[in-house]
Amino acid sequence: MPRRGTIHAAVSNADGWFTAACLEIAVVTQGRTFDETLENLRDAIALHLEEETPEQLGLSRPISLSITFEQDLG
């Protein structure tokens, strides 16, 4: 499997909370604002990477974060 240096996360907003979930690693977090959620996401990813190295997760350095915001149009 080729190594990638990007972690992708999807952020959504429901019931007054923003939720962020990473696609490549098992990280999910939330916050009351978009900015709080991004800060929590960065912290959660850093904690996750303390347990496993990027190489163990199939990621290459340097690590970047790509955010997609999902909004319900209905």
- What is this structure's pTM? 0.84
Among 27, 22, 24, residue whose Cα is nearest residue 67: 22
**Element (H or E) spanning 67, and its range?**
strand 59-70
The confidence score (pLDDT) of residue 22 equals: 96
The confidence score (pLDDT) of residue 40 equals: 98
Every domain of the chain and the residues it spans: 4-70
CA angle 33, 38, 39 (to 5 degrees): 100
CATH class for the region spanning 4-70:
alpha beta
Of the pLDDT bands very low, low, confident and very high (cuts 50, 70, 90), residue 56 is: confident
* Per-residue pLDDT reduced to its tens digit, 31-51: 999 999 999 999 999 999 888
